[in-house]
Chain A
């Protein structure tokens, strides 16, 4: 068998191992789906009324592109794209924790003394996390449809939207792998990825930028999650996308590349002590 097919075989073995962990200890995985769903319930059912009236007010303002029609169709249609991005963000938590746990336990030292494809150790984590995250995204989409989310996207736009989410998942997973490698304890790992879950709060996820105070708006405008959310909102709800798509893809590619290179460097440096 060729080196490449051995590498694929080893990666599949590592993937099976990681998925088995996730299935056996599902609490972390469940919380990945649970948090966004709680956010969805909270923002739609609890704050929803207040949010839509303030959005309607904002949409009368000339500086915003929010289409009053779809805001009136329900705040849920505004907020779901942001919630989906949050789902991907919270998926980085179990990844970082799993990678960090792996590194602090002896099993990876064993792997390093075996004639296996080294890359498979990280690849197994990345692919496993991507699968978990995308399953979570699917569940959150299902719940939001039940709650009254009515996207306007045709199948092609859906596929593009899912691709964007997968690209984001790839980027955040590699970043989480790198963060899991550099942190010393699983607790530290779970703390250090928290911003990936919190950043969407200061983005266009819940309210349009136009409604924000100046300084916050500036931050929200230039942070990566806003263009990604705007792109998804455009794809799913038909809002204008503009330059957001290009910026979103650029951010994802940059983060994925940086995370990958960082993770690879740290991992190849050898066992942490």
Chain B
């Protein structure tokens, strides 16, 4: 990323409502060129809506958006020429074969026939679809369809790519290979706008992360900045009874305690050495510990902290 490069995407005051339901309420975004930006949010947070607006599919109610330097409202076609979109729901032609789908994209990008075929062959190879190239997409597995979907997005070599939950429904191996593809694209200078519900995913691939919840951006920053918002690594000690809890709290000094659950939360980096030190101190005072779990902060904690509810909780809508 060069210091003075203009951002690939900016949005200011973005708003969108569906009838009485306000989905995006004054959102500001800025994505520097050549970086991965991840929009994180639970079901119904408005991730897909944001992608649909930024990718010219649906209009915003208000807001100033520039993508690839073009005004979203006035020059949508110039934006379309610069972007590629892999939506949340598969956007492949089920009645055609994988190869035909890719060639269809090449034709729509007005690539020369020979160039188009070569590009299709490259992508089939890159996305491990060579064996399935001549089969109709209706027979593809979910993961193959997802890969084809992304391959189709890449036919025109877009400079900015929107990926709406690209790894949902993929097995761990495919997920990892998707992350690698994203990294390779970024290494090639592409800007990625990625939505996900997987905090681990944002942590793994994104340069910057924004957390969207109930129409607002509730946190934004690098993964480390977000993690800094919440308590550091700690160990949770579970006790069988209140007296155990009491004596451990006395031994360990200032720790946070949850008397209801008979749990003590002790700052600890979770390394074997410091764990042993902790357990030795408890053993010296003959304190019985019922259970122990090490907790290193991840974005799940961030999520919990900034949205006030776990990501698995149903979000009330409307």
Assess whether B57 is in contact with A113, with CB atoms less than 8 Å apart. Answer: yes
When distances are taken between beta carbons in the complex, the residues of chain B under 8 Å from A106 are 87, 89-92
When distances are taken between beta carbons in the complex, the residues of chain B under 8 Å from A10 are 108
> Min CB distance, A98 to chain B, in Å?
10
When distances are taken between beta carbons in the complex, the residues of chain B under 8 Å from A24 are 95, 136
Interface string of B148-160 (1 = CB under 8 A from A): 0000100010000
Most central of A6, A10, A21, A113 by chain B CB within 10 Å? A113
Assess whether A114 is in contact with B80, with CB atoms less than 8 Å apart. Answer: yes
Judge whether B58 is part of the interface by a CB distance below 8 angstroms.
yes
> Min CB distance, A81 to chain B, in Å?
35
Q: Give Cα A24 to B91, complex, Å.
A: 20
Assess whether A271 is in contact with B58, with CB atoms less than 8 Å apart. Answer: yes
When distances are taken between beta carbons in the complex, the residues of chain B under 8 Å from A20 are 95-96, 100
Assess whether B91 is in contact with A109, with CB atoms less than 8 Å apart. Answer: yes
> Min CB distance, A112 to chain B, in Å?
6
CB neighbors of B among A1-35 (8 A): 1, 6, 9-10, 13, 16-17, 20-21, 24-25
Assess whether A107 is in contact with B93, with CB atoms less than 8 Å apart. Answer: yes
Judge whether B209 is part of the interface by a CB distance below 8 angstroms.
no
Judge whether A110 is part of the interface by a CB distance below 8 angstroms.
yes
> Min CB distance, B219 to chain A, in Å?
28
Interface string of B101-133 (1 = CB under 8 A from A): 000100111100000000000000000000000
Judge whether A156 is part of the interface by a CB distance below 8 angstroms.
no
Given contacts A20-B96, A20-B100, A25-B95, contact A112 B57 (CB under 8 A): yes
Judge whether A270 is part of the interface by a CB distance below 8 angstroms.
yes
Tally of A-B Cβ pairs under 8 angstroms: 63
When distances are taken between beta carbons in the complex, the residues of chain A under 8 Å from B136 are 24
Interface string of B256-270 (1 = CB under 8 A from A): 000000000000000
Judge whether B59 is part of the interface by a CB distance below 8 angstroms.
yes
A113 partner, pick from B55, B59, B109, beta carbons under 8 A: B55
When distances are taken between beta carbons in the complex, the residues of chain A under 8 Å from B80 are 113-115
Judge whether A116 is part of the interface by a CB distance below 8 angstroms.
yes
User: Smallest CB-CB separation from B77: which chain A residue?
Assistant: A115
User: Smallest CB-CB separation from A112: which chain B residue?
Assistant: B57
Assess whether A270 is in contact with B58, with CB atoms less than 8 Å apart. Answer: yes
Judge whether B83 is part of the interface by a CB distance below 8 angstroms.
yes
When distances are taken between beta carbons in the complex, the residues of chain B under 8 Å from A16 are 107
When distances are taken between beta carbons in the complex, the residues of chain B under 8 Å from A270 are 57-59
When distances are taken between beta carbons in the complex, the residues of chain B under 8 Å from A107 are 91-93
Q: Give Cα A231 to B227, complex, Å.
A: 78
> Min CB distance, A208 to chain B, in Å?
44
Most central of B85, B90, B108 by chain A CB within 10 Å? B108
Interface string of B70-96 (1 = CB under 8 A from A): 000000011011010101011111111
Judge whether B56 is part of the interface by a CB distance below 8 angstroms.
yes
> Min CB distance, A78 to chain B, in Å?
40
When distances are taken between beta carbons in the complex, the residues of chain A under 8 Å from B93 are 17, 105, 107
Given contacts A9-B110, A13-B104, contact A110 B83 (CB under 8 A): no
Query: What's the tally of chain B residues with a CB closer than 8 Å to chain A?
Result: 30
A1 partner, pick from B78, B81, B104, B110, beta carbons under 8 A: B110
Assess whether B110 is in contact with A113, with CB atoms less than 8 Å apart. Answer: no
Q: Give Cα A17 to B124, complex, Å.
A: 20
Interface string of A32-69 (1 = CB under 8 A from B): 00000000000000000000000000000000000000
Interface string of A87-127 (1 = CB under 8 A from B): 00000000000000000011101111111100000000000
When distances are taken between beta carbons in the complex, the residues of chain A under 8 Å from B91 are 105-107, 109-110
B81 partner, pick from A109, A110, A115, beta carbons under 8 A: A115
User: Smallest CB-CB separation from A105: which chain B residue?
Assistant: B94
Q: Give Cα A1 to B100, complex, Å.
A: 25
Given contacts A25-B95, A113-B80, A115-B80, contact A13 B57 (CB under 8 A): no
Interface string of A74-91 (1 = CB under 8 A from B): 000000000000000000
Assess whether B108 is in contact with A116, with CB atoms less than 8 Å apart. Answer: yes
Q: Give Cα A72 to B259, complex, Å.
A: 103
CB neighbors of A among B128-168 (8 A): 136, 152, 156
Assess whether B96 is in contact with A17, with CB atoms less than 8 Å apart. Answer: yes
Q: Give Cα A270 to B87, complex, Å.
A: 16
When distances are taken between beta carbons in the complex, the residues of chain A under 8 Å from B77 are 115
User: Smallest CB-CB separation from B155: which chain A residue?
Assistant: A114
Q: Give Cα A166 to B124, complex, Å.
A: 41
When distances are taken between beta carbons in the complex, the residues of chain A under 8 Å from B57 are 109, 112-113, 270-271
Assess whether B85 is in contact with A110, with CB atoms less than 8 Å apart. Answer: yes
Q: Give Cα A200 to B161, complex, Å.
A: 51
When distances are taken between beta carbons in the complex, the residues of chain A under 8 Å from B55 are 113
Assess whether A21 is in contact with B95, with CB atoms less than 8 Å apart. Answer: yes
| Sample of 16 A–B contacts (CB below 8 Å) | A10-B108, A13-B104, A20-B100, A21-B95, A21-B96, A24-B95, A25-B95, A105-B93, A105-B94, A106-B89, A107-B91, A110-B152, A112-B57, A115-B77, A115-B78, A271-B52
**Which residues of B are interface residues toward A (Cβ below 8 A)?**
52, 55-59, 77-78, 80-81, 83, 85, 87, 89-96, 100, 104, 107-110, 136, 152, 156
Of all A-B residue pairs in the complex, the 6 with the closest CB atoms, nearest first, are: A106-B91, A110-B91, A115-B81, A115-B80, A13-B107, A113-B85
